[in-house]
Amino acid sequence: MIDVSARDLLQLTVLTNMSSLSCHNLQAKRALSETEWLKFSVLTKLQHLDLGVRPLPIKLYTSFPHLTTMHIQQFRFGRAQYLITMPNLLKLNRLTLKTTATEPFDLLKDIPNPSLLTSLKISGGLGKYTREQVVKFSNLKELSLQYQSFSLETLTALQKLELFVHELPAFDLATNITSLHLDCTPSRDLQPLGSLARLRELTLRMSGPSTNLNFLSAMTRLECLDLTDTRFEPEELRHIHSPHLTYLHAIIDNPQLAHLSHLTQLESIDINNETFMMECVKDLTRLTALSCSRGTIIEDWAYLTALTNLQLLMGFMLPPMVFDRMHPHLTCLALKVPRNTRTTATHHWQN
């Protein structure tokens, strides 16, 4: 955050032709009063507004009739505040609402032109939305919901979906989704995900018991797979049949890393293991990035020489003599070297 004086922040109000205002990285040394915040209402040409987490006067939101993009992050933004804000936003195209309010209210009913909305992100509050309420949002392409019940049946234009839910929605008709981030109760059956045949990016967050990944066999267009916070038996990786998968982020126990060997198209692997058997990836010759997050020990480091396209190697524990065998393509190196060998390692790298 960049600290600025309240006076300097208020100087923004002279820019009356400004169309976009985002103050995420600006923090006034003292909090502005309601009267001071209302001085921003002269910026009537604003189309994009994101003032971060600030207790703003609700009246301020009614001053910008041309807004197409709005981010509201207020802890006490409830039904009363919503009713004041929404009716004036006739051109709204993208809406992000983050609140800690827990009162149930219909977030969709008061959006004046729902067919214009292409992006909707809701975090906080309570809501349960039926097919009849959602049908008006026919052009919605991006949706992010945190513990809201939402019918996806009519959202045929939806491409990017982020869900934090206790119950999975029906995905049968939402077949155009290409990106999915799912944080779900571990015991849920994930077979409905198999209908998302066009999916290219999948992030799955499911702590708890081992997860069955056989639904991956239907995702033949998958390019990016993040299973970092999901427990599964390494054998489940055999269900990956996408010839396009280039990125994998997961925790995979040794020595079952061998189940990666058929993914020869992989270009980037990010793992979280205590030890790593390099022999298991020696045939993945397209790899350009190999990283971990816990100082993983590579015991059979000699196999590194097989990865001739490697450009990034990060987070591993390596002996200093390996530096002499690094390939010239390597452009980013961030390793953990035993303390008593750091000088030697630097010498090898300089050579």
Output the 3-class SS for 282-319: CCCCCCCEEEECCCCEECCHHHHHHCCCCCEEEEEECC
Q: What does the pLDDT read at residue 44?
A: 93
The dihedrals phi and psi of 7, each to the nearest 5 degrees, come to -65, -45
CA 76 to chain centre: 25
User: How far apart (Å, rounded) are the C-alpha atoms in residues 13 and 38?
Assistant: 10
Q: What does the pLDDT read at residue 339?
A: 55
For tokens 């869900």, the residue is 163
User: How far apart (Å, rounded) are the C-alpha atoms in residues 329 and 310?
Assistant: 6
At 351, the pLDDT band (50, 70, 90 cuts) reads: very low
With beta carbons less than 8 A apart as the criterion, state whether 97 and 117 touch: no
With beta carbons less than 8 A apart as the criterion, state whether 265 and 246 touch: yes
Asked whether residue 207 carries a pLDDT value surpassing 90, the answer given is: no
Average pLDDT (270-274) is 73
For tokens 């299973």, the residue is 227
* pTM > 0.85: no
Asked whether residue 41 carries a pLDDT value surpassing 70, the answer given is: yes
Q: What does the pLDDT read at residue 53?
A: 58
- In this structure, are strands 20-22 and 247-250 parallel, antiparallel, or unpaired? unpaired
With beta carbons less than 8 A apart as the criterion, state whether 301 and 282 touch: no
Q: What does the pLDDT read at residue 229?
A: 80
In 3D, which of 87, 83, 82 has the Cα closest to residue 98?
82
DSSP state for residue 62 in the 8-state scheme: T
241 CB burial (10 A radius; 0-12, 13-18, 19+): middle
Which positions ≥6 away from 231 have C-beta within 8 Å?
206, 207, 208, 209, 210, 211, 251
Q: What does the pLDDT read at residue 344?
A: 42
For tokens 């097989």, the residue is 306
H-helix segments, 11-75: 34-37, 58-61
Per-residue CA distances from 164 to 147, 203, 216, 340 (Å) = 5, 12, 20, 46
The two tokens of residue 197 are 């045949």
Q: What does the pLDDT read at residue 118?
A: 95
Sketch the domain layout of the chain as residue ranges: 1-67, 273-351
Asked whether residue 194 carries a pLDDT value surpassing 60, the answer given is: yes
Which positions ≥6 away from 135 have C-beta within 8 Å?
154
Q: Is the peptide bond before 255 cis (omega within 30 degrees of 0)?
A: yes
User: For residues 14 and 350, which has the higher predicted lDDT (pLDDT)?
Assistant: 14
Where in 47-139 does DSSP place strands (E)? 48-53, 69-73, 94-98, 119-123, 128-129
In 3D, which of 274, 333, 287 has the Cα closest to residue 348?
333
Asked whether residue 185 carries a pLDDT value surpassing 80, the answer given is: no
Per-residue CA distances from 290 to 92, 109, 197 (Å) = 42, 48, 28
The dihedrals phi and psi of 95, each to the nearest 5 degrees, come to -130, 130
